[in-house]
């Protein structure tokens, strides 16, 4: 069994893969990483654990300690200049987020052509992977929840909205949610347009907590890949 762990800013996501499919997935809050010990107690002692993190050294240590109680070691995936068919075009390759790197590796494995890879978590990242497997660059912007929270905290009259997306919003709740979704979609579609000027048949892959909310708002070909980061980690574990 391979266990993949994605330690993000808000949640630590994990999945157990039996070589064919993801048999079990779950998550715990990042600030409660010690809860992984109870989860790991159910995993075979022979399980191989591969992980990535953007949550900092303290969280990595907490994850290692939690799994260590069950005798499990963790292989941490770090961004590289080149691996698994992806060339990292970041000016400082090691500074690319490990979750973004894992998502790019998975995208390259799933689609041989060009794609725009969107990770919609606490932050939203929009990364361009061309048809040769070169990561050409990407965007980072606040995620949906951060946008909504910023409006609620920074204004006197705008609440933390629970509206819905509308093309012509006519109430404050819908106007806020629609505005934030338009902002997210605009960033994605602009990066997509840039990629499409160089190569045809670009596909957009979305993953993360807001992926299903974003997908219907996009005017470009897209699909949701719920386990994209975990799939990238699986590629690392399967190749070694």
The string of pLDDT tens digits covering residues 72-128 is 999 999 999 999 999 999 999 999 999 999 999 999 999 989 999 999 999 999 999
Mean pLDDT across the chain: 94
Task: Check whether 55 has a pLDDT greater than 70.
Answer: yes
- Choose, from 99, 127, 167, 174, the residue flagged as catalytic: 99
Task: Check whether 38 has a pLDDT greater than 70.
Answer: yes
Give yes or no: 31 in active site. no
- Asked if domains 2-76 and 112-231 share a fold, the reply is yes
Going by pLDDT thresholds of 50, 70 and 90, the confidence category of residue 221 is: very high
CATH class (in words) of the domain with range 2-76:
alpha beta
Residues present in the chain in total:
240
> What is the maximum alpha-carbon separation in the chain?
57
What is the CATH code for 112-231?
A: 3.30.420.40
pLDDT at 138: 97
Per-domain residue ranges of the chain: 2-76, 112-231
pLDDT at 239: 77
Which pTM does this prediction carry?
0.94
Distance of alpha carbon 81 from alpha carbon 86, whole angstroms: 8
Mean pLDDT of 49-64: 96
Mean pLDDT of 43-71: 95
């Amino acid at each position: 069994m391979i266990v993949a762990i994605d330690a993000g800013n808000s949640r630590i996501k994990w999945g157990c893969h039996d070589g064919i499919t993801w048999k079990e997935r779950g998550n715990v809050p990042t600030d409660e990483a010690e809860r992984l010990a109870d989860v790991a107690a159910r995993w075979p002692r022979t399980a191989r654990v591969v992980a990535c993190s953007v949550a900092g050294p303290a969280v990595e240590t907490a994850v290692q300690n939690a799994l260590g109680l069950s005798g499990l070691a963790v292989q941490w995936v770090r961004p590289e200049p080149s691996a698994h068919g992806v060339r990292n075009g970041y000016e400082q390759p090691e500074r690319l987020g490990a979750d973004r790197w894992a998502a790019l590796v998975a995208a390259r494995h799933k689609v041989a052509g060009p794609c725009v890879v969107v990770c919609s978590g606490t932050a939203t990242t929009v990364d361009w992977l061309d048809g040769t497997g070169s990561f050409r660059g990407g965007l980072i912007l606040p995620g949906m929840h951060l946008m909504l929270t910023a409006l609620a905290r920074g204004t006197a009259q705008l609440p933390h909205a629970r509206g819905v997306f509308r093309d012509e919003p006519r109430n404050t709740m819908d106007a806020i949610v629609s505005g934030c979704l338009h902002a997210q979609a605009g960033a994605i579609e602009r990066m997509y347009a840039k990629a499409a000027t160089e190569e045809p048949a670009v596909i957009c892959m979305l993953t993360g907590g807001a992926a299903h909310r974003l997908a219907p708002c996009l005017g470009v070909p897209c699909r949701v890949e719920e386990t994209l980061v975990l799939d990238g980690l699986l590629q690392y574990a399967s190749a070694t």
